[in-house]
Structure formats: C-alpha cells, structure tokens
Amino acid sequence: MLQALREKDREIEGAAITPEALASLIRLVESGRTSVGSARGLIADLVESGGDPEAMVRERGLEAVSDTGVLERVVDEVLQAQAKSVAGYREGDAKLLNFLMGQVMRRTQGKADPGVVRALLVRKLQGASS
C-alpha cells in the first residue's frame, strides 16, 4: 500500500481506496481466493481509482488455483520435466524444493496456492522415494 502511494505521489487521504476495500482485499488473500502477488498488483489500481477488490479479482482472472486435482497434474508435469532437480532434492539439496515450487507457480501464472503446492511437492517427493 505504501509503495503504491509513493508511486502515485499521494497521501493516504488522497487515495481512492476505502478501508473496506483494503479489508476485503486482505480477506481475499487470507482465505486463499487470491495470491499475495495478485493482491499487490491490484493495490495500485485501488489507490488510483478505488473499486471492489472481489469483483476485480474475478474480472481479471486472479482467483487462486487451489483445486488439488489441477495442482497435482501441474506438480506431476513439473516433477517429470525437472528430473535432475528431483534427484538433487532427494540427495539432500533442500533448496531445490523452492525451485520446483517456482516452476509450478510459473506454470499456473502465479495463481497456485503456495501452501497447497508445497504440500503436494513434499508428499510426492518423499512418497516416490520410499
């Protein structure tokens, strides 16, 4: 919010965003309906023009993907495409989990629920190695 105010050279009093809209945007993130990244992208527009965050998320296709069936397919594709990273992770390079998460997020255009993605990756990486 502060960054958007600075970029628009505005004080909070001159912003078009209402406290209710900000609270609504926060609820959308907390409930997992949109990602933090998507919410950040909306802040500048809300500061400039106001509006209904829920409607904006819907209209712009920014709703988070938390459907485990969809995410499981994407995770499987990433694990298959990144066999070297999978092997490295299983050999103890824990940082590769973040790389694999990034690949899933890229394929879902940042719309995947990170918590669900991490849980799926960990389960699949640990389950397939035993």
> What is the torsional sign of CA 47, 50, 51, 56?
negative
**The last residue of a domain, from among 32, 59, 86:** 59
Tokens of 20: 């209710």
Ranges 13-17, 29-33, 76-80, 124-128, most confident: 76-80
Q: Residue 76 sits in which domain range?
A: 68-127
Q: Residue 66: is its pLDDT beyond 80?
A: no
Residues 25 and 75 in one domain: no
Residue among 74, 61, 129 at smallest CA distance from 103? 74
**What pLDDT sits at residue 40?**
87
Rounded average pLDDT over 58-66: 84
Lowest mean pLDDT among 28-32, 63-67, 78-82: 63-67
Residues 91 and 119 in one domain: yes
Residues 90 and 119 in one domain: yes
Residues 54 and 75 in one domain: no
